[in-house]
Chains A and B, each alone.
Chain A
Amino acid sequence: MFRPLEKGPRRRVSVRVDGRSVEMEEDANLAAALLEAGFSPFRTTPVSGAPREPYCMMGVCFDCLAVVDDVPNRQTCLETVRAGMTVAMQEGAATVRDVEAAS
């Protein structure tokens, strides 16, 4: 488990992770916050269903993908925590919907 090194007075916001509410530091790196929250695995692969979690943390490996605000395959290591964000684990290939038509 990843733990915070310093307990700063940072503002915490609520993020919905797989349907439950989780408190995270605002403006934190999303992948880091999810690791700290014990979100595991981040996804399973479309090829074999193998579980994956962040590997590189710098945007090159594409293993930290998750569904962020209903958009699948977001690189969580390049996302920033914002209040009201929703995150869900992605199982295999993403289901695509026409978000615009659905909303």
Chain B
Amino acid sequence: MVGGGIVGAAIAYGLARAGEKPLLLDEGDVAHRAARGNFGNVWVQGKGAGLTPYADLSRRAANDWAEFTREIEAVTDTDLHFRRPGAFYLCFSAEDLEKRGEMMARLDAAATIKSRFEVVEAAELKRRLPAIGPEVAGAIFSPDDGTANPLRLLRALISGTVALGGTYLPRQPAEKVAFSASGVTIDTPRGKIEAERVVLAAGLGNARLAPLLGLDAPVRPVRGQILVTEKVRPFLAYGTNFIRQTLEGGCMFGESSEDAGFDEGTTLPVLRETARRAVTAFPLLRHVQVVRAWGALRIMSPDGAPIYQQTDDGRAFVVSVHSGVTLAPFHAGPLVEALRGDGFATPAYRPFSPERFHVQAA
């Protein structure tokens, strides 16, 4: 496994659970770690609008989260803070609300696995979320959305991998990968590693590594600036699309999407706009202190959906995913079964092949 983020660690964990001996290679302390910028939303609403199989994948994974949590907690004694109270997608105009409702209806009609949702008008929203601001026009509520703590998830997946017989090697980023006589050679700053098979789950690093093995991961960084507040008493029991109160009490919010290369910094105009939107949604946030802000890099494919691809000989696989938290049960479960069985060369994975981008381009 190349990549010790949530995606790579989930697959390594699943492999170890299945009795394999995965080796999980990670970068050092300073890395573009999407997990650190993750909201922790186990999110279904609106996902897969452009690619219906992605909707089904997300819905199935979200439905598997409760069982996944129980199992991880049994193996690692870690509370992942998973809750599934449902979430609100906040709309700031009646027009937005209507459009969003129509999109949700179309999406649900197309999807195989159904997900409930309702359009909540302003007055009803105020009843359910008393802290909501007067400028919010309404929301889409889905009871299928949940939240978890992504940092606890990452730590549990790594320690679970080790507890189940896998190996974790930090400070060993893959600099090069190449086919060898018997498998794949991975060059790290501490030497060469020989593996029978390799899964590339190196986040943004996949864009560089995948072509070295004849694979394709056209992912690019999309920056989101996030602010985190001090702990306050609970006031927001549900998820929302851009503000979440964690179980510890801190609130995190952010929704920007910027092309900023690999710059993880923050900019005043975006921080200001993000803060303004947060205060508009929940005016009481105005008085809460922000303790941290940073730019996190999303791993974005051209259509936002996952990329799953393998070489014909089944020696190398690439997994590039933006929603590692939601899909963690899938990566640790069915995807691991595929890796140990027929690989990604089956109809279930075909929609996620990067070939889809070339078809569109032609």
Contacts and interface: CB of A to CB of B under 8 A. Distances in A.
A73 B289 contact: yes
Contacts of B230: 73, 93-94
22 contacts: A46-B248, A71-B287, A72-B232, A72-B287, A73-B230, A73-B289, A92-B233, A93-B230, A93-B231, A93-B232, A93-B233, A94-B230, A94-B231, A94-B232, A94-B233, A95-B232, A95-B233, A96-B287, A96-B288, A98-B284, A100-B283, A101-B283
A34 to B, nearest CB: 20
A94 B230 CA distance: 9
Interface string B222-237: 0000000011110100
B114 interface: no
B286 A46 contact: no
B30 to A, nearest CB: 24
A76 to B, nearest CB: 15
B199 to A, nearest CB: 38
Interface string A69-98: 001110000000000000000001111111
A99 interface: yes
B270 interface: no
Interface of B: 131, 230-233, 235, 248-249, 283-289
B232 A96 contact: yes
A92 B233 CA distance: 8
Nearest to B234: A93
A94 B249 CA distance: 10
- The list of the 9 closest CB pairs from A to B, nearest first, reads A98-B284, A93-B231, A46-B231, A98-B283, A95-B233, A93-B249, A96-B232, A96-B284, A93-B233
Contacts of B287: 71-72, 96-99
Contacts of A99: 287
A92 to B, nearest CB: 8
A100 B248 CA distance: 26
A96 B235 CA distance: 8
B233, B248, B283, B286 interface centre (most CB from chain A within 10 Å): B233
B292 to A, nearest CB: 14
Interface in A43-84: 46, 71-73
Contacts of B249: 46, 93
B284 A97 contact: yes
Nearest to A46: B231
Contacts of B231: 46, 93-94
Given A46-B249, A93-B249, A100 B286 contact: yes
B285 A96 contact: yes
Nearest to A95: B233
